[in-house]
Amino acid sequence: MAAAGDGPWLDDAAGRLVRPFTVSNGRTEPSIALDLMSQVMATGVTPLGYLGPEHAQALDLCRAPVSVAEVAAQLTLPAVVTKVLLSDLVDCGALTTKPPVYHHTPTDRSLLEAVLDGLRRQL
């Protein structure tokens, strides 16, 4: 007897038909430094030349400021691939980027102590 999931995969059940790194032409290094929390936003400039459908989807998601992590989640692509796509859009002037604003410095002792205290309570 066949299990319920043994049938053919159709439409959305088949998942992505193109490997993620083919979307970025195998590139794994974005041309600009992007943090997962960096904010990106469309500038209104129309990109010249051909950009793939994933570029268009990413640009559409960036009508309002959004984080790189959110774009990756919405596109269901690995973060590194999303960073390459977004850097392409920044390079052609279609996107602008703003680095993340951190409210605490990485060496803020009180923050580190609070994290350590929380971890100890979990153990």
CATH number at 77 reads 1.10.10
53 located within any domain: yes
Higher pLDDT, 109 or 59: 59
In-domain check, residue 12? no
In a domain, 109, yes or no: no
- Residue 14's pLDDT is 43
pLDDT over threshold 50, residue 68:
yes
* Average pLDDT for 45-59: 87
Residue 65 located in a structural domain:
yes
Residue 1 included in any domain: no
Domain ranges, residue 78: 20-101
Is 0.75 topped by the overall pTM?
no
Higher pLDDT, 28 or 86: 86
The verdict on residue 111 lying in a domain is no
Whether residue 112 lies inside any domain: the answer is no
Number of structural domains the chain divides into: 1
Is the confidence at residue 104, as pLDDT, over 70? Answer: no
Tell me, what's the pLDDT at 8? 61
Q: Considering the domain boundaries, does residue 40 fall inside one?
A: yes
Average model confidence (pLDDT) for the chain? Answer: 81
Contacts 24+ apart (CB under 8 A), 30-33: 30/80, 30/83, 30/84, 30/86, 30/87, 31/87, 31/88, 31/90, 31/91, 32/87, 32/90, 32/91, 32/97
Q: Is the pLDDT of residue 59 over 50?
A: yes
